[in-house]
Every structure is written in structure tokens, then in C-alpha cells.
């Protein structure tokens, strides 16, 4: 399952294994604006995600 958390919230099923980078590119998610978490742990774009995994793209934010 892919979850996107930020201004927009979505859940998308993952049908086949792919890298975090491939998934982000397909969904139009910027690595500069989002942090990628795989099963609760930060990951880089080359990490492979399987359909049974949970991939979360969390939008980075700042405050002051």
C-alpha cells in the first residue's frame, strides 16, 4: 500500500514490486518535498518496495 500524507492525502494499492524512485516518479512526487518511509523507516529512492509493504510519502513542512 502506498500512502501520501500532506496537503493531499491518498492511498494507492501497489500491484507489483518497484523502487521508491520509480513509484515517486509515476505519482509525480518530488524527493525534495517528500520524505519516503518504508514500513516506518526512512529509505532512499533505490529501495525496492513489495506489494505487502507500506510505503508512505510524507510531505516535509517547516514552521516558525
Distance CA 64, CA 47 (A): 33
pLDDT per residue as tens digits for the range 14-51 = 999 999 999 999 999 988 899 999 999 999 999 999 99
Q: Specify the 3-state DSSP secondary structure of 16.
A: coil
- Nearest partner of 8 among 59, 54, 55, 45, judged by Cα: 59
- Residue-range domain boundaries for the chain: 2-59
Give dist(CA 63, CA 4) in Å, integer.
20
Q: What is the pLDDT of residue 64?
A: 62
Domain 2-59: what homologous superfamily? Answer: Beta-grasp domain (3.10.20.30)
Residue 6 above 70 pLDDT? yes
pTM: 0.88
Amino acid at each position: 500500500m502506498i500512502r501520501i500524507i500532506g496537503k493531499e492525502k491518498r492511498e494507492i494499492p501497489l500491484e507489483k514490486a518497484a523502487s521508491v524512485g520509480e513509484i515517486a516518479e509515476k505519482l509525480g512526487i518530488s524527493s525534495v518535498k517528500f520524505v519516503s518511509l518504508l514500513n516506518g523507516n526512512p529509505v532512499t529512492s533505490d529501495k525496492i518496495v513489495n506489494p505487502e509493504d507500506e510505503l508512505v510519502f510524507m510531505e516535509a513542512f517547516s514552521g516558525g
